[in-house]
Chain A
C-alpha cells in the first residue's frame, strides 16, 4: 500500500480514491511486485515472463478460477440468467406486457409470481426484463472497459503531456457526481435504449480508465517494455501486444465492475422514468411498480422479483470478481505464511478485496 502511494507522489490522481480503495491499491503492489509475494509464481499479472511461461501461468489462472468456489457459484448464477434471457421468447412467447389476468393477483398456480396492478404476469415481465437489462449491462461494460483500456494504455505509454491531459479528463469525469449527471444528460437526449447506453458509457468509462492506467504504468516501467521500445516496435504493438496481455486479470475485474455498474445504473435511470418506459426491463418493471403504487397496496410480489434479479446478477459478477482477485493475489487466499508474520490471525478463508473498484 505504502509503495503504491509513494511511488507516484506528484500524481494528482493519488487522492482520487477509486484507485486508492485499499483493494485495488494492494492489488497493484502485488501484481507488479510478482516475485516477492508468497506464491508469486501463480501470478499472471507478474510481468516480464517469457512466452512459454506466460502461457503456463495463464493456464494456471484459468485453472485457479475453475477450482475456485466463488467463481463457480458466480458463473452458475450468471449462466442461469443468460439462459433465461435467451429462452424468454420460448418460455413466454406472448408479449409480456399483455394483460393476462385480474389486477394485483397474489402468486398462484396460474401466475407464479402474481400479476401487476394492470394484470400483467410478473414472471413473464421479469424473465423478459432480463434481456434488456443484461444486454445494456454487457454493452455498457464492454464499451467502458474498451475506452478505459485505450485511455489507460495511451496514458501509460506516452506519459508526459498525454498522460497529464488524459488523467485530468479522467479525474474530472470521476469527480462529477454520476447520477445527477446521468439524470441531466438523459433529460436532454431523446428517450430510448440507445440514449441509456450512451449516457451510461459517458459516465462509466472514467473508473476503468483510472484503474487500468495505474496498472499499465507499473508494467510500462518494466525492462521488457524498454527492450521492446529499443528493438523498434511500434507504439500500438507495444501497447496492445506487450503491455495489455500482462494486465489481463485487471481488465477482467474492471469489465466485471463495469457490467455491475451498467446494470445498476440502467435500473436506477429507468426507475426514475428516464429510460424508455415502453420497453420491458428490470428497471422499468420497478418504475411501473412504483407508479402503480405496488408498495402501498401491499403487492410485494410486483417489486421483489426484478430487484432480486438485479441483486443476484450483481452479486454473481462480484463473486467472480473476488475470485479473480483471490486467484491473482496470493495474500487474500488462505494464509500459508508463517504465523508470526500476521499476528492475531488464524488460517481461514478470507473475504475479498477490490471493493467496488470500477463503479
Chain B
C-alpha cells in the first residue's frame, strides 16, 4: 500500500509538471501564439481581434499567478477552451471524437506486438541457437532501425498503391456511416491493418529480445533444473516455470512503451491520415490552434501516466517483493 501511494504521489508530480509546462510554454516561449497568428494573417488582424484572442487563450495582462489559478480552475472543471481551427467546437469535444481511434490503433498494435513478441522470445530462449533464436533477432533489430513513418510509407506504397490490398487513408470509407454493422466493422478492420502492422513491426523486436534475454537468465536457475529432474513436461516448465518468472521486466516495459506507441502512432497516423489524436495534434500545430494542441498534449500525457499507474498496481500483484518492502 505504501508503495502504491508513493507511486501515486510520483504520478501526481509528473502530471503537475506537464500541466505547468503546458501553462508556461505559450507564455514564455519566443513564438507568442497571438503574434504568430498575426503574422499568419499577414497583418490583417485588428488590434481588437488580437485582444479578443488573448482573452480567449487566457494570455492577457493579468499577473501570472492569477492566470495560473484561472487555468487550473478551467482545467479541473473540464474546460480546455475552444478550438480555433474548428471554431466554435470546444477542445474537449474535438478530442473525445478522436481519442477512440488512437486507442483502437495503439491498443491493437501494442497488444499484438507484446503477445507475439514475448512468445517469440520465450521460444527463442528455450531453444537457444535454434531457428527462431538465430534468424529473427538480427532481422528484427534491422527492421526496428527503420523510422516508424518510413516503414509506414513503405507499407502504404507496397500494399496500398502497388498491390491495392488495403485502403490508403482514413479509418473507414467515406461512403459508410459509423454503426455496429458487419460491413462497417470489417471496413474499420481493413483500414486498421496497415497502420497497426507498421507499429507492430517496429516494436516487436524489443519485446522479443527483452523476453529472450531474461528467459536465458531464468533458464539457468536451479528450480528449472529441479523441474526437469521431476520429469515435468517441457511445455509446462517453459510457460509455468521459466516464462512466468521472466515476465516481470516485460510488464514494466509495457507501461513505458505506451509512450512510444503514442509517439509511433502519431507518425503512423500522419502517414495514413488516420483520424486519431496524433493526426489532430499535427493539424493543430499547423493551423496554430493552440488550445487544441495543448488539450491534446495534456490528454495524451494523462493517458500515459494513468496507464503507467495501472501497470504499477498490476506489478504489486505480480511481484511480492514490492509488497514487502
Write the residues of chain A forming the contact surface with B, with a CB cutoff of 8 angstroms: 1, 5-6, 9-10, 12, 14-18, 20-23, 25-26, 168, 171-172, 174-181, 183-190, 260, 264, 267-268, 271-274, 286, 289-290, 295-296, 298, 300, 303-304, 306-307, 310-312, 314-315, 318, 322, 331, 340-353, 355-356, 359
Contacts and interface: CB of A to CB of B under 8 A. Distances in A.
Contact of B18 (A20, A176, A342): A176
A70 B312 CA distance: 37
Would you list the 5 A-B pairs with minimal beta carbon distance, nearest first? A179-B263, A348-B129, A307-B150, A351-B137, A9-B325
B138 interface: yes
Contacts of B29: 188-189
Contact of A356 (B149, B206, B259): B206
The majority secondary structure among interface residues of chain B is helix
B178 to A, nearest CB: 26
B262 A179 contact: yes
A20 B219 CA distance: 18
Interface in B263-278: 263-264, 266-267, 270-271, 278
A10 B30 CA distance: 41
Contact of A355 (B25, B213, B264, B308): B213
A180 B296 contact: yes
B213 A353 contact: yes
Contacts of B248: 5
A176 B14 contact: yes
A311 B147 contact: yes
B308 A175 contact: yes
A179 B266 contact: yes
A272 B267 contact: yes
Contact of A190 (B30, B210, B212): B30
Contacts of A356: 144, 206
Contacts of B257: 17
Nearest to A344: B126
Given A183-B281, A298-B162, A176 B301 contact: yes
Interface in B106-156: 126-129, 133-134, 137-138, 141-142, 144-150, 153-154, 156
Given A12-B6, A178-B259, A189-B29, A342 B220 contact: yes
A332 B104 CA distance: 38
Contact of A341 (B133, B206, B213, B220): B220
A9 B322 contact: yes
B266 A351 contact: no
B304 A177 contact: yes
Nearest to B14: A172
8 contacts: A15-B312, A21-B206, A177-B258, A180-B262, A295-B156, A310-B145, A343-B219, A348-B129
A267 B145 CA distance: 12
A5 B191 CA distance: 42
B87 to A, nearest CB: 19
Nearest to A25: B249
Contacts of B146: 307, 310-311, 314
Nearest to B22: A184
Of listed A187, A273, A322, A349, residue having the most chain B CB within 10 A: A187
A348 B153 CA distance: 37
A179 B22 CA distance: 15
A356 B140 CA distance: 13
A172 B21 CA distance: 12
B96 interface: no
A346 B128 contact: yes
A318 B141 contact: yes
Nearest to A307: B150
B105 interface: no
Contacts of B22: 184
Interface string B24-50: 011001110000000000000000000
A187 to B, nearest CB: 4
A172 B17 contact: yes
Contacts of B161: 295-296, 298
A171 B13 CA distance: 10
A303 B153 contact: yes
Contacts of A345: 128-129, 219
B82 interface: no
B256 A18 contact: yes
B192 interface: no
A10 B301 CA distance: 25
Nearest to A272: B282
Given A180-B262, A348-B129, A343 B224 contact: yes
B315 interface: yes
A321 B13 CA distance: 34
Contacts of A23: 209-210, 213
A260 B147 CA distance: 11
Nearest to B209: A355
B137 A189 contact: no
Given A271-B147, A342-B220, A355-B206, A168 B301 contact: no
B252 interface: yes
Given A180-B301, A295-B157, A190 B137 contact: no
B90 interface: no
B211 interface: yes
B31 A189 contact: yes
A86 to B, nearest CB: 23
B282 A183 contact: yes
A15 B293 contact: no
B211 to A, nearest CB: 7
A29 to B, nearest CB: 9
A352 B137 CA distance: 8
